[in-house]
């Protein structure tokens, strides 16, 4: 007999039922006695055996109840969603004393930002952060302060689209491959007009005629030495002349080129000259046998030539659409670039980034390319839409000016490295052939085949240091301009073609 007689809570068991319960296994008896099994057949029995056992609770009209949500007793962080560097930083920061002064807090925030960690960020993260919208909040876009960039700085300063001064330049040869304008550190502007070279003192307004060629030769290029004491003149006959600007006398003539010398560049006592036959000569002006090296890598006329500020590299451009970079110790190009599709005359080294070179192409190219001369990579390019005749970098701003020929004949001011155009300046009626920058870096002089010489104040200094007597365009514009009262009167007063001003 079982210790627990088989009884039902809802009635008395029959003898037959009791016997069945006595013979049931222990597990089945426990299952039968479970409250959850009330109203359901016990395991191992048929439905008819316990058909009389029914639950008195009415069935729920909603059917089965929903399964309750799973509950956990711990929160396990998601390591993939955690910023481990920020977490370690905040743990270490919590151990120390909290700073009280604002300067220390600001310093810690700057250090954390530079290291790429976040201050006061949650150490443990249990789920991924919700995705943020990629669209800008217009309330933030239109309320955020303007960034201090080159473009915003240039918007604050005033850039005039009219020249400060206009001079006549009669007899200027209309030839893209010549270089006939240069401005010295002593604030003297030299210009080649046909067979003559004139010097205009920007501080006093005096104009002098330096030299006059004979026969059918004409001036092909001019270039001031670094100290402004000597002027090199290249002729159509292939000669290179060195002139003393103070005494206005010729020191020596270096011959040897078989064609005109259209471009030159100084590096201390070395004068490099580019010839129409594609050759580049290095002249040591101190010795009798002046030719020290001949660089041959261009198939056509060399029309662009410039030494880097440290004298380590020389850049050359030619009518063969090539840009060659030469090491000062070698006569073989360090590398050659052939991305231009027209003659490369415009070449300029960046004054505040030593290995950055800008090169501009002619009418069928119209691009300015920027080169890293250390890695030989092209960094960026600008499609200017016009023939590029020259490039001038600013010493104070992260900007550059390009001058152009067909079809727009204008100056363009660009921000670097964004390469956003700041302003277009309609400069001349015909293509701008030559540009030169003043020694203070504020004014650019332009010469065009319309036989005019114009001065544009583009890079006005941020600090107002321009005073009378200081070399630069603040004192460069002579007193005759004030007496004239207009650009036309100033041009008439200082007409370089008048023999009364030639001494």
At 434-481, the pLDDT tens digits run 999 999 999 999 999 899 999 999 998 877 544 433 334 433 444 333
Average pLDDT, the chain: 77
State the CB neighbour count (10 A cutoff) for residue 481. 19
For 31, which DSSP code?
H
Reply yes or no on whether the pLDDT at 433 is more than 80.
yes
Interval 302-318: pLDDT, tens: 999 999 999 999 999 99
Task: Confirm if 431 and 387 have CB atoms less than 8 A apart.
Answer: yes
Return phi, psi of residue 452, to 5°.
-130, 150
The two tokens of residue 169 are 């330049």
Q: Is the pLDDT of residue 143 over 60?
A: no
Does pLDDT of 277 surpass 70? yes
Coil, helix or strand at residue 417:
coil
pLDDT number for residue 8:
41
Instruction: Determine the pLDDT at residue 107.
Output: 75
State the pTM of this model.
Answer: 0.64
Describe the strand order of the beta sheet including 188-193 as a list of residue ranges.
Answer: 181-183, 188-193, 196-201, 207-212
Q: Which whole number is the average pLDDT over 50-63?
A: 48
pLDDT per residue over 384-427, tens digit each?
999 999 999 999 999 999 999 988 899 999 999 999 999 999 98
* Predicted local distance difference test score (pLDDT) of residue 6: 46
Helix (H, G, I), strand (E, B) or coil at 316: strand
Higher per-residue pLDDT: 63 or 395: 395
Structure tokens at 156: 């604050």
Task: Give me the pLDDT at residue 471, please.
Answer: 38
Residue 74, burial from CB neighbour count under 10 angstroms (0-12, 13-18, 19+): exposed
Inter-CA distances, 253 with 243, 271, 500, Å: 9, 13, 29
- CA triplet 91, 97, 103: central angle to 5 degrees? 105
Q: SS3 letters for 219-282?
A: EEEEEECCCCCEEEEEECCCCEEEEECCCCEEEEEECCCCCCEEEEEEECCEEEEEECCCEEEE
Model confidence at 75, in pLDDT bands (50, 70, 90)?
A: low
């Amino acid at each position: 007999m079982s210790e627990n007689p088989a009884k039902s809570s809802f009635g008395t068991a029959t003898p037959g039922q009791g016997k069945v319960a006595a013979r049931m296994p222990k597990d089945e008896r426990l299952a039968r006695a479970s409250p959850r099994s009330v109203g359901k057949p016990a395991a191992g029995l048929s439905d008819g055996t316990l058909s009389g056992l029914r639950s008195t609770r009415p069935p729920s009209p909603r059917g089965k109840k929903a399964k309750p949500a799973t509950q956990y007793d711990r929160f396990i962080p998601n390591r993939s969603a955690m910023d481990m560097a920020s977490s370690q930083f905040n743990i270490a920061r919590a151990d120390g004393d909290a700073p009280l002064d604002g300067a220390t807090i600001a310093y810690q925030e700057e250090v954390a930002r530079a290291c790429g960690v976040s201050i006061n960020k949650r150490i443990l993260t249990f789920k991924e952060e919700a995705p943020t919208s990629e669209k800008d909040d217009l309330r933030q876009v239109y309320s955020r302060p303007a960034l201090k960039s080159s473009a915003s700085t240039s918007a604050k300063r005033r850039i005039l689209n009219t020249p400060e001064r206009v001079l006549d330049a009669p007899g200027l040869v209309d030839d893209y491959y010549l270089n006939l304008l240069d401005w010295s550190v002593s604030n003297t502007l030299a210009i080649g007009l046909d067979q003559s070279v004139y010097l205009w003192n920007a501080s006093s307004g005096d104009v002098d005629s330096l030299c006059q060629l004979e026969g059918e030769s004409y001036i092909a290029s001019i270039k001031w030495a670094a100290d402004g004491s000597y002027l090199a003149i290249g002729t159509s006959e292939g000669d290179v002349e060195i002139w003393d600007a103070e005494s206005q006398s010729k020191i020596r003539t270096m011959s040897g080129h078989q064609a005109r010398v259209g471009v030159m560049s100084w590096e201390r006592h070395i004068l490099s000259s580019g010839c129409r036959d594609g050759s580049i000569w290095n002249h040591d002006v101190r010795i009798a046998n002046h030719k020290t090296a001949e660089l041959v890598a261009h198939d056509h006329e060399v029309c662009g030539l410039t030494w880097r500020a440290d004298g380590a590299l020389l850049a050359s451009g030619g009518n063969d659409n090539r840009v060659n970079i030469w090491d000062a110790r070698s006569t073989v190009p360090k590398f050659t670039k052939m991305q231009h599709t027209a003659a490369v005359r415009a070449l300029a080294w960046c004054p505040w980034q030593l290995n950055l070179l800008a090169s501009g192409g002619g009418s069928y190219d119209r691009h300015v390319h920027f080169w890293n001369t250390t890695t030989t990579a092209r960094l960026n390019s600008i499609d200017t839409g016009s023939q590029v005749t020259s490039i001038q970098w600013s010493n104070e701003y992260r900007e550059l000016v390009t001058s152009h020929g067909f079809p727009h004949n204008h100056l363009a001011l660009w921000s670097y490295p964004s390469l956003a155009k700041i302003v277009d300046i309609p400069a001349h009626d015909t293509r701008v052939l030559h540009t030169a920058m003043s020694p203070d870096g504020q004014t650019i002089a332009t010469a065009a085949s319309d036989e005019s010489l114009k001065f544009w104040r583009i890079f006005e200094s941020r600090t107002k240091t321009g005073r009378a007597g200081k070399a630069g365009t603040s004192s460069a514009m002579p007193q005759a301009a004030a007496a004239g009262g207009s650009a036309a009167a100033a041009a008439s007063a200082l007409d370089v073609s008048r023999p009364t001003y030639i001494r």
